[in-house]
Structure 1
Amino acid sequence: MKTVTANRLTDGRVIYRTVSGSWSTDLSDAARLDADEADAVLEAASDETHIAVGAYLIELEDEKPGGQKWRREGIRLSGPTTGSTHAQATA
């Protein structure tokens, strides 16, 4: 199963293409697409550059991002990461 994701032009938020052809920030609203319909929906979404930029297909598994890029999509979904895993030197 796949869906179309992009970034909203006005604020950069991650958005998903819905069954009705609109956009939502909620992954649960995203259209679940089979291989036959995914490319056509992506093409239509890519034409809406006044709303969304960088549209592409992602894999969905169990209602969450899947496939090889599941970690990247998980980060996009939950927002930017902050902090550092490196210990700070003390003076």
Structure 2
Amino acid sequence: MPKAFTPKVVTANHLLKGDVIYQTATGWTRDLAEAEVLTDEADADLRLIDAAQQVSLVVGAYLADVDTAGGVPKPTHFREDFRARGPSNYAHGKQEDLSNV
């Protein structure tokens, strides 16, 4: 029996900046909380195809599992949690905006 489809977001890296980005209904965002949560497998596949065709903007697009409890998507895997927080080697990208870094 196939595994049940769980909520997902389309994620990729920005081609020029390297930032982790997430697909929204109208474009891309650096903030996971603004990502479009996909609950239908066919729709998720179409959104991923759309993302993969944006070769002048993104690289490495894929579907990432999220937990939608509380109304805001949160990563369910440590890799995605790490990616959502930004680079870990020094303050740049998303971490540059944080006051505690």
For normalisation by structure 2, the TM-score amounts to: 0.73
Output one character per residue of 1:34-82: Cα deviation in whole Å (capped at 9) or x when no partner: 223100000000000100000000011032011xxx1001111112234
Q: Which has the higher helix share?
A: 2
CA RMSD of aligned residues (A): 1.4
For the pair 1:10 / 2:20, whether they are aligned, the reply is: no
SS in 1 for 2:79: helix
How many Å separate the matches in 1 of 2:25 and 2:87? Answer: 27
- Aligned-pair identity (%): 41
Higher gyration radius (CA)? 1
Structure 1, unmatched stretches of 5+, are: 84-91
CA distance in 1, matches of 2:18, 2:88: 15
Residues 5-38 of structure 1 show CA distances to partners (whole Å, capped at 9, x for unaligned) of 0000111000000012x11101111111122310
Q: 1:33 aligns with which of 32, 38, 51?
A: 38
- 1:49 corresponds in structure 2 to 55
Q: How high is the TM-score relative to the length of structure 1? A: 0.80
Runs (4+) off by over 6 Å:
none
- Segments of structure 2 that go 5 or more residues without pairing to the other structure are 1-6, 91-101
Aligned residues: 79
